[in-house]
Amino acid sequence: MPFKKIADNIKTIQEIAEKTQNLEFKKAILALEKQIFELEKENFELKQALSKQQEFNMQLKDNLCWNLKEDGSKEEVPYCSTCWYDKNKAIPMHVGEYYYTCKVCKNKISNGKEIPATKFII
Ligand SMILES: [Zn+2]
């Protein structure tokens, strides 16, 4: 793990900074340590996102994400493309009579069925 080596190096540099009693040097080391911590956090989050992406074999079609099974066929229910691409979350769409709807982001996509004219009357 490269972050472990970096942390060890920072510790060594901190010890040197302590010996020199140079305040600017100490401050710079602390700032560097904070930046490395942030990078480590970001790296962890990216790894998690990548792992999530690899659990699925998503194919975008007509603004919907379809998870393809090993035999290449689609699962019955599509996933929300907005949640998948924006938030890296696999949210199954609610299947309505004429629309697929995401309960999380309210994304609404036609399922291809034509809405009869009578349905427009309130
Ligand atoms: Zn959504």
Q: What pLDDT score was predicted for residue 17? A: 86
Ligand 1 centre and the CA of 97: distance in Å? 18
Q: What pLDDT score was predicted for residue 119? A: 64
Phi, psi (deg, nearest 5) at residue 87: -115, 0
Ligand 1 centre and the CA of 92: distance in Å? 8
Residue ranges making up the domain that contains 86: 57-120
Instruction: Give 92's contacts (C-beta < 8 A, 6+ positions apart).
Output: 77, 78, 79, 80
Sheet order of strands, 99-101 included: 94-95, 99-101, 108-110
In this structure, are 47 and 7 located in the same domain? yes
In this structure, are 64 and 11 located in the same domain? no
CB 81 within 8 A of CB 64: yes
How confident is the model over 49-95, as pLDDT tens digits? 888 888 899 999 989 999 998 898 888 899 999 999 998 899 999 99
In this structure, are 72 and 40 located in the same domain? no
pLDDT, average across residues 91-112 = 94
Ligand 1 centre and the CA of 87: distance in Å? 9
Ligand 1 centre and the CA of 118: distance in Å? 29
4 pLDDT band, cuts 50/70/90, is: confident
Instruction: Give how many domains the chain has, as a whole number.
Output: 2
In this structure, are 99 and 114 located in the same domain? yes
Ligand 1 centre and the CA of 95: distance in Å? 13
Of the two residues 114 and 95, the one the predictor is more confident about is 95
In this structure, are 64 and 114 located in the same domain? yes
Sheet order of strands, 64-67 included: 58-61, 64-67, 79-80
Q: What pLDDT score was predicted for residue 122? A: 56
Structure tokens at 66: 């379809």
Q: What is the pTM of this model?
A: 0.62
Q: Which of 29, 53, 77 is the last residue of a domain?
A: 53
Q: Which residues surround ligand 1, an ion (CB under 5 A)?
A: 80, 82-83, 91, 102, 104-105, 107
